[in-house]
Chains A and B, each alone.
Chain A
Amino acid sequence: MMNIPCPFCGSRNEAEFAFGGPVKPDRPDPNTVSEGEWVAYLTQVPNPLGPVQERWWHVKGCGMWLTIWRDTRTHDIVEGPADAE
């Protein structure tokens, strides 16, 4: 069970969080990008073997959505949320 740093609550057990998936690029304006680019945005999720930026929701805590960099090989949180201690 990972120990995830919440900027609001401090380090808490993973069981308090819901996984929000890897962070996708910013949502493009669907009216200006091509259909192919839009489909790529919708369907392609970052999947690196190594550090990945991802979101977790502190649903059984303060309710904050936070962003961390986690190494998918080791579970090491290589970079915590900006405001975490």
Chain B
Amino acid sequence: MPSNRMDTGGRIDRDRPLNFTFNGRRLQGFAGDTLASALLANRVRLTARSFKYHRPRGIIGAGVEEPSTLVELLGDDASGNRPATTVPLRDGLIAKSVNCWPSPGFDLGAINQLIGRFIPAGFYYKTFKWPGWHLYEPTIRKAAGLAAAPAAPPEQGHFENRFAHCDLLIAGAGPAGLMAASTAGRAGLRVMIADEATEAGGSLLNRRLTIGGTPALGWVKAVVDELATLPNVTHLQNATVWAYREHNYLMVNERAPDNPSLLERNWRVRAGQVICATGAIERMLVFGNNDRPGVMLASAAQTYVNRYGVRPGQRAVVFTNNNSAYAVAADLTAAGITVAAIIDSRTDVPEEARTLVEDVDVLAGHVVTGARGARQVRGVTIAPVDGGASRQITCDLLAHSGGWNPAVHLWSQSRGNLRYDDTLTSFLPDQAAQDATSVGATNGQMTLADALGSGARAGADAAGITMPDIPTSADLIYAVTPLWRVEQGRDKAFLDIQNDVTVDDVHLALREGYDNVEHVKRYTTGGMGIDQGKTGNINIIGTVAMQQGAPLEELGTTTFRSPYTPVSFGAIGGLREDSVVLPYRHTPLTAWNIKNGAFMYESGARWRRPGYFPQPGESFQETVNRECRIVRNGVGVYDGSPLGTFEFKGRDVGRFLDHIYTNIMSTLKPGHGRYGLMLSDDGLIIDDGVALRLSEHRWIVSTSTGHADAMNSHFEELLQTQFPDWNVFVTTVTSQWNNATICGPLARDVMQALGTDIDISPAALPFMGFADGHVAGIPARLVRVSFTGELSFEVNVAPRHLPALWDKIMTAGAPFGIAPIGSEANHVLRVEKGFLSLGHEVDGTVDPYDLGLGWAMSKKKTDYLGKHAVAIRRSGTTNRRELVGILPEPDQMIPEGAPLTPGGERKPTEGLVTACVYSTVHDRWVGLALLENGHSRHGETVRARLKDKVIAARVTPPIHYDAAGERLRS
């Protein structure tokens, strides 16, 4: 099989061949390869089709900058849109190109090339706008053909998150980063250094340089080995610092960490200081057909020969506007590639560059006006930069360099300023916004000596020590003359390879008035996508600058946002139980409930509760009806533990409760309870519940289940910020007190059968009374509250006793036909009684008067939360929606939330149905509703307007059962 692999050299292991599959072809590479280097070694040059025009594409870069070859990995590695240059090769890897079907060689979408001139920038926005872009989007996205998301998470392995703190986080382990790490590490700082590549060294891996007179990679190894011995240093490779947030909080995505069961680990790092040593990214030159397979970044060609031992071509032309490509030409020559010519757009080539390649033909003051060849570059057309006769040179590799962009992404994410540097013709870090510095190429220090020096300086400054000695090194001086685009030639010249954005597209955007770089980006999509324009953005800005005659520093850059490179959702999510963000809450009875056939679901505040307990053969409605009849006619029991419970202690509790409840609580006698309403200061009902006065300065306040957390916040905020001098202490005791609530006309009989040392006669323990003692031998607080309208005993015990109490209740209650009751029956029972439910009858529009609870609004108190707001809201208002009962006629269910409209016509609503349940007491459907002026409309007929029909209902008082309240007081 023909191969581009060199016999020696590179950081690959020729003794470890790895088999892989690409677009169905079985191929072989070596350990140390990326997918891209292995493809080039196998002479696979056509690796992709472009996004919009489906043009043939090859491999352009060698790292995260790769704009062209995106692959979808299958099998165990399932993931999409991965640049082939960042996929480490492993045995059994299966990859396929995105953007083409069935293969890059025979691609049906390539028809778009023929109609290319009809799909300019903004084409989709202009064409697919009626009736809405969203109608067309799915089809267009599919045609655009980025990879599909994997159907399921990987079967093997998992993701995790880890928090870390350090004195110093260094992003990048190139020469500057390593120098900073060793300096600060030796000084004892807690250092974390993270680098995106599979091994440390940064640009040194790709180049042939010396440090201290020996190959630079020897120095790298020595530093890495020393860092490994320092317990205060954490060194991560294959780990990208992808986000820089406020307060020096950074995200590091570590791939294939040192744990076989882990796929990825996302570190969340709080760093004292940060050093950005993220290097620089080479930018493309812009000329006709600069996207043909075989047209490659010069640094990438250099990387393939030096790091991977792969010749990306046999006969190369190098096209440049700066010095760095001369070192590339030298390395290509050393690797056995014929460099036919160096085309340099500068008229004066610095001597130090030229001496590197004395045998190579250098054509100064020339440009490549176009690449020839379709599926593979076959040559270039060149011409003098200021016009003149063109000629052609044959080649199969065009290595080009438009200069270097410092990788300021992280710096910019930290909100650090950028400034345009005329000498480097790039944007550089300027003022820091957080405790951060930048070093090496990130900071425009383009030579190895400057990188080592700036790294050492930053490391020493961070540690507060003097500057260490810097090892000697030699490197070519960097010098560049900008060439934003080649103006000659008529072929498509790409600014953004990944999004198929050409010079013409940018010109069109400018003509149509999108003259801000952010607008140009959005209109043309230039700089978006997987690579976020790492190789092309500044050329877009340069093209805008040329067209507008404005300097780049005035145009500025588009905003850099995280992530720096794509991060899998799995890594962000980390390890989570099941599919919930927050864990569920359970009472000690969950196991019993499940064992006894409960249908469990969440019923507010993440509590898992039994909805109903179906018996074999029972329908949902039959089950609920049975449970309701049991409570109305016999005795039932339910687990009321999730109800929010708070203990208040202190001399000023009465005063505080008078402030937060609408009614007066401070007059309550110890041993008694009282129902109350709580409002926000702007007059909304936020909760209702019962307060029990245990003793002079000790109270229990219960809140609704769903609002317990919010009420805790409410109490604490008031006490800590408004009444810090008041003697009130609040403790959440929801999980310290659990309860079983026995309810029904036979409840007292069950209590007696259980045995209690508390006098439970109606006179001794009346409704709203409570007493401490024992129930069935278990220490308990017995409370006479009722949420069902029946005689009820709420038996409160410590959680550890609840299962035992429950079993005893079941045993003692068996002769009375006791049964467990779920939330559904509870809902029916409270609707029959006209008891409120927050979120049903209580929304942001009703006040206590509307609900018939005006009696709870104290007239005596001059001030309490919400008093004045309710008065203001009510003053001058008419047509308030008031709580009523409804009886559907003919008898049928009306869906909850159904609107009531005048006459059932298509008119503005006059109310809504808040609940509608089947009442076993009345053997018919009953409901509650909020209705305009409802209190004065009892007896009228209203109509609920549904999509397919109108249902009439008679208006009644809101209490359908035991209006006098005799049963719950019995």
Which residues of A are at the interface with B, using a C-beta cutoff of 8 A?
1-3, 13, 18, 20, 27, 29-31, 35, 38-39, 42-43, 55, 57, 59, 63-65, 67, 74-75, 77
Nearest chain-A residue to B875 (Cβ)?
A: A35
Asked if residues A65 and B720 are in contact (CB atoms below 8 Å), the reply is yes
Which single member of A2, A57, A67 contacts B713 (CB below 8 Å)?
A57
A31 contacts which chain B residues (CB < 8 A)?
862-863
Asked if residues B433 and A74 are in contact (CB atoms below 8 Å), the reply is yes
Asked if residues B872 and A35 are in contact (CB atoms below 8 Å), the reply is yes
Asked if residues A3 and B717 are in contact (CB atoms below 8 Å), the reply is no
Identify 8 new A-B residue pairs, CB closer than 8 A, beyond the known A18-B713, A27-B681, A75-B247: A1-B249, A20-B717, A42-B869, A43-B682, A65-B717, A67-B721, A75-B246, A77-B247
Nearest chain-A residue to B868 (Cβ)?
A: A30
- Which 6 pairs from chain A and chain B are nearest by CB? A75-B246, A65-B720, A30-B868, A3-B247, A42-B682, A1-B249
What's the least CB distance linking A51 to chain B, in Å? Answer: 15
A3 contacts which chain B residues (CB < 8 A)?
247-249, 270
B415 at the interface (CB under 8 A from A): yes
A75 contacts which chain B residues (CB < 8 A)?
246-247
Asked if residues B716 and A57 are in contact (CB atoms below 8 Å), the reply is yes
Q: Which of B718-771 contact A (CB under 8 A)?
A: 720-722
Report how far A13 CA is from B247 CA in the complex, Å. 10
What's the least CB distance linking A32 to chain B, in Å? Answer: 10
B246 contacts which chain A residues (CB < 8 A)?
1-2, 74-75
Which single member of B245, B868, B869 contacts A1 (CB below 8 Å)?
B245
B954 at the interface (CB under 8 A from A): no
Asked if residues B716 and A65 are in contact (CB atoms below 8 Å), the reply is yes
What's the least CB distance linking B154 to chain A, in Å? Answer: 27
Interface mask (B869-906 → A, CB under 8 Å = 1, otherwise 0): 10010000000000000000000000000000000000
Nearest chain-A residue to B683 (Cβ)?
A: A42
Nearest chain-A residue to B872 (Cβ)?
A: A35
Asked if residues A27 and B713 are in contact (CB atoms below 8 Å), the reply is no
Nearest chain-B residue to A39 (Cβ)?
A: B872
B833 at the interface (CB under 8 A from A): no
Q: List 16 A-B contacts (CB under 8 A).
A: A1-B245, A2-B249, A3-B249, A20-B713, A27-B681, A30-B863, A31-B863, A38-B869, A38-B872, A42-B682, A43-B682, A57-B713, A63-B716, A64-B720, A65-B716, A74-B433
Which residues of B are at the interface with A, using a C-beta cutoff of 8 A?
163, 245-249, 268, 270, 415, 433, 681-682, 713, 716-717, 720-722, 862-863, 867-869, 872
Asked if residues A30 and B270 are in contact (CB atoms below 8 Å), the reply is no
Asked if residues B717 and A55 are in contact (CB atoms below 8 Å), the reply is yes
Asked if residues B721 and A27 are in contact (CB atoms below 8 Å), the reply is no
Which single member of B245, B268, B721, B872 contacts A65 (CB below 8 Å)?
B721
Interface of B is mostly: helix
What's the least CB distance linking A36 to chain B, in Å? Answer: 10
Report how far A2 CA is from B270 CA in the complex, Å. 10
Asked if residues B415 and A38 are in contact (CB atoms below 8 Å), the reply is no
Asked if residues A59 and B713 are in contact (CB atoms below 8 Å), the reply is yes
Report how far A18 CA is from B415 CA in the complex, Å. 25
A43 contacts which chain B residues (CB < 8 A)?
682
What's the least CB distance linking A69 to chain B, in Å? Answer: 15
B720 contacts which chain A residues (CB < 8 A)?
64-65
Report how far A1 CA is from B862 CA in the complex, Å. 44
What's the least CB distance linking B832 to chain A, in Å? Answer: 37
B869 contacts which chain A residues (CB < 8 A)?
38, 42
A1 contacts which chain B residues (CB < 8 A)?
245-247, 249, 268
Interface of A is mostly: mixed
Report how far A6 CA is from B720 CA in the complex, Å. 14
Report how far A75 CA is from B248 CA in the complex, Å. 11
B862 contacts which chain A residues (CB < 8 A)?
31
Asked if residues A30 and B867 are in contact (CB atoms below 8 Å), the reply is yes
A38 contacts which chain B residues (CB < 8 A)?
868-869, 872
What's the least CB distance linking B562 to chain A, in Å? Answer: 13
B249 contacts which chain A residues (CB < 8 A)?
1-3
B868 contacts which chain A residues (CB < 8 A)?
30, 38
Report how far A31 CA is from B12 CA in the complex, Å. 82
Which of B163, B717, B867: most chain A CB closer than 10 A? B717
A57 contacts which chain B residues (CB < 8 A)?
713, 716-717
Report how far A35 CA is from B862 CA in the complex, Å. 15
What's the least CB distance linking A72 to chain B, in Å? Answer: 12
Which single member of A29, A42, A55, A77 contacts B721 (CB below 8 Å)?
A55
Which of B163, B247, B415, B872: most chain A CB closer than 10 A? B247
Nearest chain-B residue to A43 (Cβ)?
A: B682
Report how far A46 CA is from B450 CA in the complex, Å. 49
Given contacts A29-B863, A39-B872, A42-B682, contact A74 B247 (CB under 8 A): no
A30 contacts which chain B residues (CB < 8 A)?
863, 867-868
Which single member of A13, A39, A74 contacts B415 (CB below 8 Å)?
A74
B268 contacts which chain A residues (CB < 8 A)?
1
Report how far A39 CA is from B871 CA in the complex, Å. 12
Which of B721, B863, B869, B872: most chain A CB closer than 10 A? B721
Report how far A57 CA is from B246 CA in the complex, Å. 20
What's the least CB distance linking A7 to chain B, in Å? Answer: 12
A18 contacts which chain B residues (CB < 8 A)?
713
What's the least CB distance linking B733 to chain A, in Å? Answer: 14
Nearest chain-A residue to B680 (Cβ)?
A: A42
What's the least CB distance linking A53 to chain B, in Å? Answer: 11
B682 contacts which chain A residues (CB < 8 A)?
42-43
Which single member of A27, A63, A67 contacts B722 (CB below 8 Å)?
A27
Asked if residues B681 and A42 are in contact (CB atoms below 8 Å), the reply is yes
What's the least CB distance linking A71 to chain B, in Å? Answer: 10
A13 contacts which chain B residues (CB < 8 A)?
163, 270
B415 contacts which chain A residues (CB < 8 A)?
74
Report how far A32 CA is from B720 CA in the complex, Å. 24
What's the least CB distance linking B568 to chain A, in Å? Answer: 20
Report how far A60 CA is from B821 CA in the complex, Å. 34
A74 contacts which chain B residues (CB < 8 A)?
246, 415, 433
What's the least CB distance linking B749 to chain A, in Å? Answer: 44
B722 contacts which chain A residues (CB < 8 A)?
27
What's the least CB distance linking A27 to chain B, in Å? Answer: 7
Report how far A31 CA is from B867 CA in the complex, Å. 11
Nearest chain-B residue to A21 (Cβ)?
A: B717
What's the least CB distance linking B244 to chain A, in Å? Answer: 12
Report how far A19 CA is from B902 CA in the complex, Å. 43
Report how far A55 CA is from B714 CA in the complex, Å. 13
Which single member of B247, B716, B872 contacts A2 (CB below 8 Å)?
B247
Report how far A39 CA is from B869 CA in the complex, Å. 8
Report how far A1 CA is from B251 CA in the complex, Å. 10
Report how far A42 CA is from B268 CA in the complex, Å. 39
Report how far A77 CA is from B433 CA in the complex, Å. 13
What's the least CB distance linking A29 to chain B, in Å? Answer: 7
Which of B246, B268, B872: most chain A CB closer than 10 A? B246
Report how far A2 CA is from B433 CA in the complex, Å. 14
Report how far A67 CA is from B246 CA in the complex, Å. 19
A2 contacts which chain B residues (CB < 8 A)?
246-247, 249
Report how far A67 CA is from B247 CA in the complex, Å. 18
What's the least CB distance linking A59 to chain B, in Å? Answer: 7
Nearest chain-B residue to A64 (Cβ)?
A: B720
Report how far A55 CA is from B869 CA in the complex, Å. 23
Report how far A13 CA is from B868 CA in the complex, Å. 38
Report how far A14 CA is from B70 CA in the complex, Å. 37
Nearest chain-A residue to B682 (Cβ)?
A: A42
What's the least CB distance linking A4 to chain B, in Å? Answer: 9
What's the least CB distance linking B251 to chain A, in Å? Answer: 10
Nearest chain-A residue to B717 (Cβ)?
A: A65
What's the least CB distance linking B786 to chain A, in Å? Answer: 32
Report how far A35 CA is from B248 CA in the complex, Å. 46
What's the least CB distance linking A63 to chain B, in Å? Answer: 6
What's the least CB distance linking B242 to chain A, in Å? Answer: 15
B163 contacts which chain A residues (CB < 8 A)?
13
What's the least CB distance linking B249 to chain A, in Å? Answer: 5
What's the least CB distance linking A46 to chain B, in Å? Answer: 15
What's the least CB distance linking A12 to chain B, in Å? Answer: 10
A20 contacts which chain B residues (CB < 8 A)?
713, 717
